[in-house]
Homo-oligomer: A and B are copies of this chain.
Amino acid sequence: MISKSQISFIKSLQQKKIRKANGLFIVEGLKSVSEFINSDYTIDTIYYTENVMPKLGNLSQNIKSIEISVSDLTKISALTSPQQVLAIVKIPKHRDLTKQMLKGSFTIAIDGIQDPGNFGTIIRTADWFGVNHLVCSEDTVDVYNPKVVQATMGSLSRIYVAYFDLHEFLDDPGVPVFGALLEGKSIYETNFGNEGILILGNEGNGIRPQIISKIQFPITIPRFGEAESLNVAVSASIFCSEIRRNS
């Protein structure tokens, strides 16, 4: 059973300010919820429909779980097709990304991406390629937005994502700084080495001038046809693949 006020509270978690004030966000679907249960995140409550709990594994037994009807799940879900289970998860405490953590690995820096689907897809792709750190400008879409969480397909449970003043963060980070730009050295002629930061810009405006000034290596994906630009999640993927093909 779930009360009317609980329903309205869970729905309100679709708003960033309510998530921030309560330190909570929602995760939906068997696969994603299972991955958060098996991660460092702390689950506050699981709302599940009949017969779903056994599919969530042993670890879920220690978590507060409430069985609800399909119709109540529809009320609290942010999805057009609700998926059997919804978990309320605690937003983790901000951890600094130290220079030590940057060494010997790749970090993606996001400058103002706005589309939740694009951002979630970048996190999922980064997880595939073992790029485990993402840093974002403060105006980037909130990573705990339900549409972002959904598009990560569970990968958010494994990837470090933090919001910083990017300009400050990029002051002498101690590893090479690459930027995805329309003008630059061909990605096919670039040796990314074994560590660095890759900056990706906003969908319409690209990387801000003051952030461009921090780029040591402007890199471009050569164009062979006529399209004016690539989707930012597509660019991110091609960069991740090129970084790994040489590693």
What is the interface of chain A, defined by CB distance below 8 A to chain B? 31, 117, 121, 124-132, 153-155, 158, 187-188, 221-231, 233-234, 237-238, 241-242, 244-245, 247
Contacts and interface: CB of A to CB of B under 8 A. Distances in A.
Nearest to A236: B234
A30 to B, nearest CB: 13
16 contacts: A126-B225, A127-B225, A127-B226, A128-B223, A128-B225, A128-B229, A129-B224, A130-B224, A130-B226, A154-B228, A187-B241, A188-B245, A224-B244, A238-B238, A238-B241, A241-B242
A194 to B, nearest CB: 13
Those 9 A-B pairs whose CB atoms lie nearest each other, nearest first: A130-B225, A130-B224, A127-B227, A128-B227, A234-B237, A188-B245, A238-B241, A127-B225, A155-B227
A227 to B, nearest CB: 4
Nearest to A224: B130
B121 A228 contact: no
Contacts of A153: 227-229
A226 B234 CA distance: 19
Given A128-B225, A237-B237, A231 B155 contact: no
A221 B238 CA distance: 11
Contacts of A222: 244
A50 B45 CA distance: 53
A123 to B, nearest CB: 9
A237 B224 CA distance: 13
B121 A226 contact: no
Contacts of A237: 230, 234, 237-238
Nearest to A155: B227
